[in-house]
Copies of this chain bind each other. A is one copy, B any other.
Amino acid sequence: MADTPDSSRRTLETVSRACDIIKALEQLNGAGVTELANHLDLSKSSTHSYLATLQEKQLVVKNGNTYSLSLEFLYLGKTVRYQHILFQHGKDQTEELAEETGEFAHLMCEQHGLERNIYKVMGPNAIGNEYHTSKEQNPDYLHFTSAGKAVLAHLPEERLHEIVNRQGLISKTPNTITDIDTLNAELATIREQGYAVNDEEEIRGIRAVGAPICSPEGMVLGAVSVSGPTSRLSGEFYAETVPEKVVESANIIEANINMSTKKSQF
């Protein structure tokens, strides 16, 4: 309707609209037909057809006059995670990393140019909410997290530029890298030392250290990271101990993947 000037018309509008409806239902926490129709600039009758179809396919439930996403999404989400190669071979190690450092440990990968968390574990000292049961935040940009930068540093240059061009270098704190040259220099450093740091670049008072996880073929699959308050992530612990442990965890996960990929790729 409004903006797909560059992309080829090889996509299905009906499917696209269905996706919009799913995302709108999530955002609105359920909605009625009229509300949705107004929100998405569709006719009531069309909106109704979409909802009826999604309901029949059990992706949507209807309570009274309110349509909401069904718990099928919880099931699908858990399956997606369970099937992910990084989860299968990195879950235990991420837990150990959280245990050893006492802080939050994250396992993530890049998807569509954004950071997607696969697994988060709260270490014994970790502050904040219980991540795994709280509201999930939106996906992060890659350039202001440690794990994200670790991934960016090992992406093919072409894809790096594609992502930067598409997502931009949004600023979140005074420390956020917003300049492409600074970023490139930082990524070179990361490649050299084998890990990345996030020094209050996303959230004031929060530091993090992340290391990339690569496939046997050398393609970056994702990263592990540890994050915590600057008060605890400082001095030698921040400069040496945590990086060592994070890099070690990444290496162990790589080894796990390596051992499991004896089978053919197809």
Residues of A in contact with B (beta carbons under 8 Å apart): 4, 7, 10-12, 14-16, 18-20, 22, 26, 29-30, 48-50, 52-54, 56-59, 61, 68-84, 91, 109, 111-112, 116-119, 132-136, 138-139
Contact = CB atoms under 8 A, between A and B. Distances in A.
A58 B166 CA distance: 14
A118 B74 CA distance: 8
Contacts of A7: 56
A10 to B, nearest CB: 5
Given A79-B26, A83-B29, A136-B78, A71 B15 contact: no
B10 A58 contact: no
B19 A59 contact: yes
Contact of A79 (B50, B76, B135): B135
Contact of A53 (B15, B74, B134, B138): B15
Given A58-B111, A69-B76, A71-B109, A53 B11 contact: yes
A44 to B, nearest CB: 13
A112 B116 CA distance: 30
Contacts of A56: 4, 7, 11, 16
B16 A91 contact: no
A133 to B, nearest CB: 6
